[in-house]
Structure 1
C-alpha cells in the first residue's frame, strides 16, 4: 500500500497484532506480491521506486550493489526482506546476527534471490556454512556501513554523500516511515539541476523537460 494508506493503518495493525508481528505481516504481503513480475511492477509504481543514479552504486562486503541503500534484518525476517525489498528500491539485504541455528533459514532466504544478500555472522563456523550461499559477510564495526534506526530521509541522504558508505535501515525505520522510504532517500540523494530557461528548450516537444 502507498505510504498515505500505510501510516493511518500502522497504529491499528500494531495494536491488534503487536509491532513485531505487524511488521512481519507487512513484509510477507509485500514479498508475496513482489515475487510476481506484475506484482513487482505494481509495488514499484505505488511506492515511487526509481532507478538510482550511478553515483549511488557501490559495493558491500565485495558484492556490487546498484544503490548503497538497503535493510538490515534479523534471520526471522530474512526470507520476507529478500523478496520484498527489490521493488521498493533497496539495493542490498543484510541479515544479522546469524548463528549456527539460523543457517538453514538464511540458506532458504538466499535461494532464488534477485538482490545481494550479505550476512553478519556470530562466528567463523557460521560464515563457513553460509559462504557458498550468500554474497558476502559484514562486521559490526565496519566504518563504511551505517545502520540507521532514525527514519530521517535527510540524515540517510547525507550519509550516502560519503563515497563508499552503505546505509542500512533497521526494520523499525520502515515501520515508522513506510515502504516508500527508500525511494525518498534516493530522491534526496540525487543532485538536481536548475530548470532550463524557455529560450533553451527549443521547439521539439521530445526535448521538453518534465515541467
Structure 2
C-alpha cells in the first residue's frame, strides 16, 4: 500500500476534442497565402501549416482549394433569404431586391477582405467560377421564388426564370468588377447593377 505522504500517480490525460477552429479565419489565411504565393503553387499542406491546423482538420472544413475560395457563402444567402421572407406585399419589388443585396453584403472588415480576395481569384482562374455554380444557384433560386410570388407568375415559368438568371448574373458580374476596382462598398455596386438590369437596354 502506498504511503499517504506520496501522491498517487496521476491518471493519463484523456484525449479531448480538438481545439475549436474558426473556418472563416482559416479561409482568410488561405486567401492571403494564395495571393502571396500563387493559387496553383499552393498546396493544402501549405495552407494547414500557415493556418496552424492539422491537415486532417483543414480537410474537415474544406475538402479542396476551390472550397476554400468559395467558403463563407451561407451567411450571405441567409441574410438575403431573411429579407425576402420579411418583405411586405406592398413594398416595391425593386426596393426589396436592393435591400436584399445590400443586407446580404453587410460585411465586417475581415469578411470584406476575404470577399475581395475570393472574387479576384475567381476572375484570375475562371475554372473556380464553374466550381461555385451550385452556390450561385442557391441565390438564383431565392430570387426566382421571390419574383414568382410578387409578380404572380409560375416559379418555373419563363419570366421568373429569366429574371432570376439575369439578376444573379448581374450581381455576380458587379461584384467581380468591384473586387478589381477597389471600390469601397460592394452593396452600392450590386444595387447599381440591379438598376441597370431593371432599366433595360438604352
What TM-score results when the alignment is normalised by the length of structure 1?
0.29
* Structure possessing the higher relative contact order (Cα contacts under 8 Å, 6 or more residues apart): 1
More helix by share: 2
Structure 1 or 2, whichever has the larger Rg, is 2
More strand by share: 1
